[in-house]
Amino acid sequence: MAAPPENYDALPMDWVGDWAGRRAKIAPRRRAVYESDTDRRYSFGEINDRANRVGTYLVDRLGLQKGDRVCFIGRNRIEPIDLYMACGKTGIILSPLSYRLTKRELDELLERIEPQALFYEDFFSDLVESLSLPETVREVVEFGDGDCRYGSEVMTTEPRDVNVPLAMQDTFLYIHTGGTTATPKVCIVSHRQMVWNSVDLIVSATDAMTERSELLIFPFFHIGGWNTLTPIFQSGGYTVLMRQFDPGVALDLIDREKINHMGAVEAMLKFMADHPKFGEASLESLTGITTAGAPCAAVTMKHFWDRGIPVSQSYGLTEAGPSNFVHSGLDESWEELTEHHASIGTSFYHCDYRIVDDETLEPVAKGEEGVLLMRSLHNFDGYLKQPERNEKVFAEGGWIYSGDRAREDEDGYVYLVGRADNMFVSGGENVSPEEIENVLTEHPAVAQAAVIPMNDERWGQVPLAIVVAAQGETPSEEDMTRHCNTQLARYKVPKSFVVADSLPLTGAGKIDRNALARTYTPS
């Protein structure tokens, strides 16, 4: 006999990472994943078999071992899931790369990650061929629908049980996050983080995830893709894949596959509501939509509210979650849910939060704005090879500094106000662009909005708004000014408006404020 372990997070256990194997033992014939583009359905047993084939190939053919890195570039298809499950079994670190990034950004990420293998979808062969791969890369493997090495070599590998005991503190993923001023940061994500976040999502769900039929729209190069798949897979639910978002296909899949939940960003919901099929679609199976990425305007939610579908906000950071807050509406009336539609609700069951003064980091009173801090067992383990950035995100006591400004009302509803680091000063007052953007997108003629500072002789800087018109609308400067005047302090009301066809985005899908500044406020 022996003394109890001092730290269970450091204790290797057979189950950690073996999501495919564990679920296959419980329900091998139960449906797990549907790949809509190929019309292929996979049971949990089939997913486990594929994971063992890929794991055997990685370990026996490529000679990879725990702690080695594998990157992939591809859309939402079965092969990234194979890699995710295989890496979970073997202790190999999986690092998805965004196909939206440029060669320069990808080259810098590859140099930092130093992968031993790169898997890529043939759809992106030109991009991959342009990359400057580091010397660590031993093998480059293509996958696709036609003849490719993945099908002829990887999937024909004789499978064996490749699962090895792993500790909760072992690294599982390298996930890069979006930025507008530099190459994206790489977050070190442990098994502990993914397990505990999965637990929080399951506990906080308004339904039983075992019965969940989820339309997975978030891309697999983003933590949101894996954060959607993992708790549903672990619970024995059903996930439907789309390689890339198409509003008409999404509406078809909801009805055909009887989807009962989906997560989306606001732009996706706009596209769906504007699609000719929206009025024809039944949507009777859809019992909830959760928005993420950025606040969603009521005008967008209303299209689904009018169909009897609750839409609620969520919030999280790769560094602190990936999921931390949700407005579940579990015991709210329809009127209460819609009244507090702009709120991200409250934190998950196992997540602490504080709203603090940006300078002192002391908690502010309810109703006052401050910076949001979060702490939980699903905090990340820091940025890869960037200690100077770690010092800016970790606060004493295990808190993650989000950089997001928030306030909490007297009833406990938390609202995002904007980003601390996008603020600018106008006449001595702090101005948050996101706050103005949220007000502008509540205007029925405005589909999207971005606000940047422009120089002003009197006030130093004043807000400039760039807006994209809603379908069939022509927003006027007079109407938008009047709308803002009713909801914003005068110094926050944009002094000028520009109507644009679209807003530039970064590789992570966020507003590229630097590109806007170069276009509309050149020095």
Structural domains in the chain plus CATH codes? 14-166 (3.40.50.12780), 425-520 (3.30.300.30)
Does residue 180 register a pLDDT over 60?
Answer: no
Does residue 96 register a pLDDT over 90?
Answer: yes
Amino acid at 175: I
Q: How many CA atoms lie within 13 A of 452 on its CB side?
A: 19
For residues 344 and 415, is the Cβ–Cβ distance under 8 A? yes
Q: Would you place residue 206 in the very low, low, confident or very high pLDDT band (cuts 50, 70, 90)?
A: confident
pTM of the model: 0.85
CA distance 72 to 54: 13
Amino acid at 85: M
For residues 300 and 271, is the Cβ–Cβ distance under 8 A? no
Buried b (16+ CB within 10 A) or exposed e, 121-141: bebbeebbeebeeeeebebbb
What's 422's DSSP letter? G
Give mean pLDDT, residues 290-313: 90
User: pLDDT per residue over 240-295, tens digit each?
Assistant: 999 999 999 999 999 999 999 999 988 889 899 999 999 999 999 999 999 987 77
Q: pLDDT at position 181, please? A: 43
- Report the phi/psi class of residue 114: left, alpha or beta, with left for phi > 0 and alpha for psi in -120 to 50: left
For residues 509 and 99, is the Cβ–Cβ distance under 8 A? no
Beta bridge partner(s), residue 356: 363, 371
- The pair of three-digit structure tokens given for residue 341, joined into one six-digit string: 């539609």
Q: Would you place residue 9 in the very low, low, confident or very high pLDDT band (cuts 50, 70, 90)?
A: very high
β-strands 496-500, 460-469: how paired? parallel
Q: pLDDT at position 179, please? A: 47
Give mean pLDDT, residues 389-404: 94
Q: How far does Cα 428 stand from its chain's mean position?
A: 35
For residues 218 and 191, is the Cβ–Cβ distance under 8 A? no
Three-point CA angle 380, 507, 116, nearest 5°: 60
CA gyration radius for the chain? 23
Q: How long is the chain?
A: 523
Q: Would you place residue 421 in the very low, low, confident or very high pLDDT band (cuts 50, 70, 90)?
A: confident
Give mean pLDDT, residues 390-416: 95
Which of 97-106, 216-225, 371-380, 404-413 is the least confident region?
97-106
Beta strands in 359-472 (DSSP E): 370-376, 394-395, 399-408, 414-419, 424-426, 429-431, 446-456, 460-469
Residue 419's alpha-carbon distances to 80, 209, 358, 423, in angstroms, are 32, 33, 11, 7
CA distance 398 to 377: 10
Q: Would you place residue 129 in the very low, low, confident or very high pLDDT band (cuts 50, 70, 90)?
A: very high
Beta bridge partner(s), residue 511: 505
Does residue 159 register a pLDDT over 70?
Answer: yes
SS (H, E, C) 231-274: HHHHHCCEEEECCCCCHHHHHHHHHHCCCCEEEECHHHHHHHHH
Task: Work out the burial of residue 47: count CB atoms within 10 Å of its CB; fewer than 13 is exposed, 13-18 middle, 19 or more buried.
Answer: buried
Amino acid at 219: P
Give mean pLDDT, residues 493-514: 90
CA distance 515 to 523: 13
Higher per-residue pLDDT: 497 or 101: 497
Which of 210-219, 306-315, 510-519 is the least confident region?
510-519
Does residue 207 register a pLDDT over 80?
Answer: yes
Q: pLDDT at position 178, please? A: 62
Q: Residue with structure tokens 């579940």?
A: 328
Dihedral angle over CA of 11, 171, 386, 6, nearest 10 = -10
β-strands 351-356, 370-376: how paired? antiparallel
Task: Work out the burial of residue 467: count CB atoms within 10 Å of its CB; fewer than 13 is exposed, 13-18 middle, 19 or more buried.
Answer: buried
Q: Would you place residue 329 in the very low, low, confident or very high pLDDT band (cuts 50, 70, 90)?
A: confident
Residue ranges of alpha helices (H) inside 40-175 are 44-56, 78-90, 103-113, 125-130, 149
Q: Would you place residue 428 in the very low, low, confident or very high pLDDT band (cuts 50, 70, 90)?
A: low
For residues 257 and 240, is the Cβ–Cβ distance under 8 A? yes
